[in-house]
Structure 1
Amino acid sequence: FSSANPRASVLKVMAVAAIAFLGGLILNVMPCVLPVLSIKLTSVLKATGQTRQMTRNGFLFSALGVLTFVWALAAALVFLQWIGVSVGWGIQFQNPVFVTLMFMVIAVFAANLLGAFEITLPAALQDRLGASSARAGYISDFGTGLLAAILATPCSAPFLGTAITFALAGTPLDVMVIFTALGLGLALPYLVIAARPELVTRMPRPGRWMLLVRILLGGLLLATAAWLLFVLVGVAGARVAAFISALTAVFIIAASIPRANRWARRAVLSACVLLAIFGAGLISTPDRTIAAVDAMSHWQDFDPLRIARYVSEGETVFVDVTADWCLTCKANKSLVLDKDPVRARLRGGSVIAMQADWTKPDDAIARFLERHDRYGIPFNIVFGPGAPSGIALPEILTPQAVLGALDAASMRSLVSE
């Protein structure tokens, strides 16, 4: 906190923390909800039939898992910033090893829900935990919250960009306070059920309906795995993605063989994981899956040096910073940018549309975001004679917001349109 006016600084950080809390809460209903929904519903399903106290403890451990990931992410961002590395929200999805491990974990969880095998803790670990099924269950609850938080980070929610920008521009203490508030907002659904366990106990008694729900949740996780595989193609290349898919299939098959030798099974499973990490980390050949602009497209490759020149010539420039792993970007593209009247305006010749692909690390894009005080995507901004410094758009686009910014930047009135 600033030493010049400590009270004002504290109040400012608390205000931004409140914004971060709201951003984390909204993150629960962003397009990222598809990957996270199945994780959260699995928690509710598993809690059916438990005692009130066990239900409360389980959801508290899930909330702790969310906060643990947020704290670890905050610490990592502070460290990377300290050593001079460009940082941002969701940048871990630019790492092929991280995406590979997430894909394998989600695919294995999907196979588990669909009945291929049961995931259990090793016997030695269960003995160390006192052979307590409750304690083992709490570890699973913690992992559920951790995984849900990881899968939520590719999205940037309203208010989230403001909070993260303030945090990363401040001290390490600012970062931890604001990220903690963000984590509490993201974990609020777990905390609400922990406070009111009867919300779960009012569910129907266990029966055949639970099998149908398991199949539904398994399908959602398969969809999540497919999305992660698509991201992996962008950050590691199609050949590596195919190699990882084959290893994951071998992993699931080996885990599902009922009477396989225990040591042989462990050897195969370990080999699959190690080969996957090796393949993703050392032989990746990233493909340009988003920004490979062909001659028929109205999108140009991103070049920040050309923006000022275009504006000086009286042109209007629309910049879309996106990535394969950004689900909010995908929603903006399909619901707004690729639909009339916005698409017609971008294709009409009066606007130069640039697309910046941040699927994999790109210093030019990272510096561009930092210059505009942004540390996450989606980020859309319009430059023109009426706005040479740019008009930044909200994370969730609407046709009115885009067209209004284009009008203002090009010095056209809405009436003339």
Structure 2
Amino acid sequence: TVEDPTKPLILKAKLDYLICSADECLPASKNIELNLPVGTPEKTQDAALIEDALKNVPKKTPEIVHVKNVEFIENDAGNKILNIKIHDPKLTKDAAIFVESPHKMFFDLPTITPLEEQGSFTIAFPVFLDELKKLAPFQSLVDEPVTITIVEKDRAYSVQAVVSAEKPSWLGFITIMILAFAGGFILNFMPCVLPVLSIKMMSLLKYSHGHEHQVRAQTLRTAGGILASFMTIALTLMTLKWMGTSIGWGMQFQQPLFLIFICFVLVLFAANLLGLFEFQVPRIFYRFMDSDKVHSEHLKDVLEGVFATLLSTPCSAPMIGTAISFALSNGSIQIFLIFFLMSLGFSVPYILIALFPRLLSFMPKPGPWMITLKRVLSLALWGTVLWLLFVLVTQVGFKTTFLIASGLAIFYALLWTRGKSPKQQWIGVLVVALFMSSSGTALTVLGLTTPETKTLNGTWLPFDLGLLQRSIKQNKLVFVDVTADWCITCKFNEGTVLARTVVQNYLSLNDVVLIRADWTSPSPTITSYLKSLNTFAIPAYIVYGPSSQTGTKLPQILTPSIVINALEKAKDTQPSSSQ
């Protein structure tokens, strides 16, 4: 609406467009301006041109035309393609076809290929990779709406569609399901979860002789807690995806409140191992249930399953990243199915014990050694608390983390002093004071003076899209490491592979640009970058070079040979051909 119709109106716009020849397209940009004077409009010398152009404005999509699907895929050479399958009996190879997307993404000239079905075609648009490219290689169109305009001869029309990720074959889908199940099983033996599994197996030993029904009940309740937790995570991710929020595996560890909650839960379990208290069912439940059938152990069994699931999320076992990336890049059914299979794989140890309780007979008989093991496992949980506190230093700073550590110490002291004599309670107060002072000193040394990560040829550079694009344009070798302080697998790879002398020497001799994307805290830029790679879990490692302009993803578990071979392939002077 014009605010003041008595004054001239000036319209300004910025026009981004492509200048195309028969062989190539070049992006261009121009600022345009139109002055509309006050009064009755008069035809200008351009009126005829405007009328002719209006005749070519796309009309309503003909009834005989329909878009089957639009996929954002990656070909064998690693180049990104917008693949459109359309049914239009009148379409010819001479048609001018345009794609408009929410992002400033340019496309090269399309390839039109007839399909077996009469009147159906595949239109493949390579993402524009000219030296004037903008953000094309780092954006994804998955779940985004696009407008497809087709102009030829005496007709022009536009049609809208939502882009989907590339759908694997049935064999590929079955492979993904197997990976999800196997990855869930392997999670049991990752350092995040192994203490919880050990605690559960130890608690079952008291039923190992003649109490098979108790063993079955306990393990099935824990498996139920795991299943319920995974399904809750899946439902949450489906809801967030439906709302348009960026999602990923382990993203809850970016939230300080979640880390604080996990710290208190860990302290609670550590105190339970040391016999400071027993899990009790809240009294309010007795109003609704038969108290004879409600036992504190039941709640503890379920909570152990929930607890194990929460601790598993910062771990990326082999195969987990592939399965999760597939699930989160597809629809709700795939998300639900993949997370169900992961929970099933994660529950295998408990299900096996439930099916074959006599397996416990192969474990040592209960004895004094269990008290020692409980103390060791308690120390493992305290070690996890300390690790999470270091993560919190990165997220909320030293002072806030110190207050959180003090709160944890007071919480543990309250549990320890329950039922103790006044003298023992005073001892507890002194222990808390000592813990607060020592933790403050430790966090000062390790938290406030965190050393910068070094390599032999310089520092890791913070993630920056502009830096990445310039390095690719200059045909440099680039290694991108997407990591987080709470990602145990990331730290394992950094310490055992990336820090190895053979890898460091190679990086130095080849002047590899090292870029580290720190996802410890929420970062929309890094999240978008991961989404463009169709990756929703970390660690993520991507190599760029003259023959890998759009990037080559590496496995989540690295070896020196994997890193070096990928970089060697990327620096090949013969660039990969695009389709």
TM over 0.5: yes
Residue type of the alignment partner of 2:197: K
Q: Report the secondary structure of 1:342's partner residue.
A: helix
- What are the equivalent positions in structure 2 for 1:224-373 lying under 5 Å apart? 224-259=384-419, 297-348=458-509, 350-373=511-534
Q: State how far apart, in whole Å, the 2-side matches of 1:373 and 1:359 are.
A: 19
Structure 2 counterpart of 1:119: 278
Q: State how far apart, in whole Å, the 2-side matches of 1:289 and 1:324 are.
A: 15
Q: How far is 1:305 from its partner?
A: 2.4
When residues 186 and 341 of structure 1 are mapped into structure 2, their CA distance, relative to the original with a 3 A threshold, is same
When residues 377 and 69 of structure 1 are mapped into structure 2, their CA distance, relative to the original with a 3 A threshold, is same
Do the aligned residues in 2 keep the contact of 1:315 with 1:351 (CA within 8 Å)? yes
Q: State how far apart, in whole Å, the 1-side matches of 2:556 and 2:293 are.
A: 43
Do the aligned residues in 2 keep the contact of 1:126 with 1:136 (CA within 8 Å)? no
Do the aligned residues in 2 keep the contact of 1:320 with 1:354 (CA within 8 Å)? yes
When residues 58 and 134 of structure 1 are mapped into structure 2, their CA distance, relative to the original with a 3 A threshold, is farther
Q: Report the secondary structure of 1:205's partner residue.
A: coil
When residues 226 and 412 of structure 1 are mapped into structure 2, their CA distance, relative to the original with a 3 A threshold, is farther
Do the aligned residues in 1 keep the contact of 2:279 with 2:300 (CA within 8 Å)? no
Structure 2 counterpart of 1:77: 237
Q: How far is 1:257 from its partner?
A: 2.0
Q: State how far apart, in whole Å, the 1-side matches of 2:260 and 2:389 are.
A: 8
When residues 405 and 94 of structure 1 are mapped into structure 2, their CA distance, relative to the original with a 3 A threshold, is same
Q: Report the secondary structure of 1:258's partner residue.
A: coil
Q: How far is 1:13 from its partner?
A: 4.4
- What are the equivalent positions in structure 2 for 1:366-385 lying under 5 Å apart? 366-385=527-546
Structure 2 counterpart of 1:40: 197
When residues 331 and 173 of structure 1 are mapped into structure 2, their CA distance, relative to the original with a 3 A threshold, is same
Q: State how far apart, in whole Å, the 1-side matches of 2:300 and 2:235 are.
A: 24
Residue type of the alignment partner of 2:466: L
Corresponding position: 1:160 with 2:320: yes
When residues 44 and 134 of structure 1 are mapped into structure 2, their CA distance, relative to the original with a 3 A threshold, is farther
When residues 71 and 380 of structure 1 are mapped into structure 2, their CA distance, relative to the original with a 3 A threshold, is same
Q: Report the secondary structure of 1:388's partner residue.
A: strand
Do the aligned residues in 1 keep the contact of 2:248 with 2:536 (CA within 8 Å)? yes
When residues 84 and 290 of structure 1 are mapped into structure 2, their CA distance, relative to the original with a 3 A threshold, is farther
Aligned counterpart for 2:373 among listed residues 213, 227, 235:
213
Q: State how far apart, in whole Å, the 2-side matches of 1:288 and 1:386 are.
A: 41
Q: State how far apart, in whole Å, the 1-side matches of 2:318 and 2:281 are.
A: 42
Q: State how far apart, in whole Å, the 1-side matches of 2:533 and 2:467 are.
A: 17
What is the TM-score when the length of structure 1 is the normalising length?
0.84
Residue type of the alignment partner of 2:240: L
When residues 290 and 348 of structure 1 are mapped into structure 2, their CA distance, relative to the original with a 3 A threshold, is farther
Do the aligned residues in 1 keep the contact of 2:398 with 2:448 (CA within 8 Å)? no
Q: State how far apart, in whole Å, the 2-side matches of 1:348 and 1:396 are.
A: 24
Structure 1 counterpart of 2:130: none
Do the aligned residues in 1 keep the contact of 2:318 with 2:556 (CA within 8 Å)? yes
Do the aligned residues in 2 keep the contact of 1:80 with 1:87 (CA within 8 Å)? yes
Q: State how far apart, in whole Å, the 1-side matches of 2:346 and 2:501 are.
A: 34
Corresponding position: 1:25 with 2:25: no
Q: State how far apart, in whole Å, the 1-side matches of 2:539 and 2:178 are.
A: 22
Q: State how far apart, in whole Å, the 2-side matches of 1:84 and 1:312 are.
A: 32
Structure 1 counterpart of 2:266: 106
When residues 289 and 141 of structure 1 are mapped into structure 2, their CA distance, relative to the original with a 3 A threshold, is farther
Q: How far is 1:317 from its partner?
A: 0.4
Residue type of the alignment partner of 1:39: V
Do the aligned residues in 1 keep the contact of 2:460 with 2:514 (CA within 8 Å)? yes
> How far does the alpha carbon of each residue in 1:203-228 deviate from its partner, in whole angstroms, 9 at most, with x for none?
34322111111111111111111111
Which is worse superposed, 205-214 or 54-63? 205-214
Q: How far is 1:14 from its partner?
A: 4.4
Q: How far is 1:34 from its partner?
A: 2.4
When residues 146 and 67 of structure 1 are mapped into structure 2, their CA distance, relative to the original with a 3 A threshold, is same
Q: State how far apart, in whole Å, the 2-side matches of 1:289 and 1:170 are.
A: 43
Aligned counterpart for 2:357 among listed residues 192, 197, 205:
197
Q: State how far apart, in whole Å, the 1-side matches of 2:414 and 2:522 are.
A: 35
Corresponding position: 1:222 with 2:222: no
Do the aligned residues in 2 keep the contact of 1:90 with 1:153 (CA within 8 Å)? yes
Structure 1 counterpart of 2:14: none
Residue type of the alignment partner of 2:283: A
Larger radius of gyration: 2
When residues 260 and 114 of structure 1 are mapped into structure 2, their CA distance, relative to the original with a 3 A threshold, is closer
Q: Report the secondary structure of 1:360's partner residue.
A: coil
Q: How far is 1:150 from its partner?
A: 0.8
Residue type of the alignment partner of 2:263: F
When residues 69 and 333 of structure 1 are mapped into structure 2, their CA distance, relative to the original with a 3 A threshold, is same
Q: How far is 1:71 from its partner?
A: 0.6
Do the aligned residues in 1 keep the contact of 2:279 with 2:297 (CA within 8 Å)? no
Q: State how far apart, in whole Å, the 2-side matches of 1:388 and 1:96 are.
A: 37
Q: State how far apart, in whole Å, the 1-side matches of 2:450 and 2:226 are.
A: 30
Q: State how far apart, in whole Å, the 2-side matches of 1:171 and 1:199 are.
A: 40
Q: State how far apart, in whole Å, the 2-side matches of 1:307 and 1:47 are.
A: 53
Q: Report the secondary structure of 1:121's partner residue.
A: coil
Do the aligned residues in 2 keep the contact of 1:291 with 1:355 (CA within 8 Å)? no
Q: Report the secondary structure of 2:501's partner residue.
A: coil
Unmatched runs of 5 consecutive residues or more in structure 1: 262-286
Q: State how far apart, in whole Å, the 2-side matches of 1:390 and 1:315 are.
A: 12
When residues 406 and 294 of structure 1 are mapped into structure 2, their CA distance, relative to the original with a 3 A threshold, is closer
Structure (1 or 2) with the greater strand fraction: 2
Structure (1 or 2) with the greater helix fraction: 1
Q: State how far apart, in whole Å, the 2-side matches of 1:290 and 1:303 are.
A: 22
Residue type of the alignment partner of 1:377: I
Residue type of the alignment partner of 1:408: K
Q: State how far apart, in whole Å, the 2-side matches of 1:155 and 1:290 are.
A: 23
- Percent sequence identity is 35
Q: State how far apart, in whole Å, the 1-side matches of 2:557 and 2:449 are.
A: 22
How many equivalent residue pairs? 380
Do the aligned residues in 2 keep the contact of 1:48 with 1:200 (CA within 8 Å)? yes
